[in-house]
Amino acid sequence: MVKHSFGVDLLEEYWKMQERRAEEINWEQPLSPRVCSSSYVQLTNGKTMMESLEEKIPDLFTYEQNHPVGVQSQAAESIGDAFFLAQYTSKDAAASDMVSAKINKAFNEVCR
């Protein structure tokens, strides 16, 4: 998410420092993000998700279906008990909230 918001690959920068290649690092990185990167995790709740949301929500840079589609879930006991993880960027927090609401609405439409 840092890479999407700030344009900095932290792992790459880390290895440059470990390999004593610090001169290759652009130390003039921005101090504020260019965009807002967000994660949305939908925990299992005893319902059955009848289809994936991957194609229903545009502009997701990550979508991981963690619970099988068409299989009834149990109530979540931890963050690992999720139907899916979605990550996306938006211009600001208000726009992020709108995408989150859209994902939630789409999720409710495909569950029974």
Assigned fold of 35-112: Aldehyde Oxidoreductase; domain 3 (3.90.1170)
CA distance 43 to 82: 4
CA dihedral sign of residues 77, 64, 37, 19: positive
The full set of domain ranges for the chain reads 1-34, 35-112
Q: What is the pLDDT along the chain (112 residues), one digit of tens a residue?
A: 666 666 677 777 777 777 777 776 666 766 666 788 899 999 999 999 999 999 888 888 899 999 999 999 999 999 889 999 999 989 888 999 999 999 999 999 999 9
Model-level pTM greater than 0.85? no
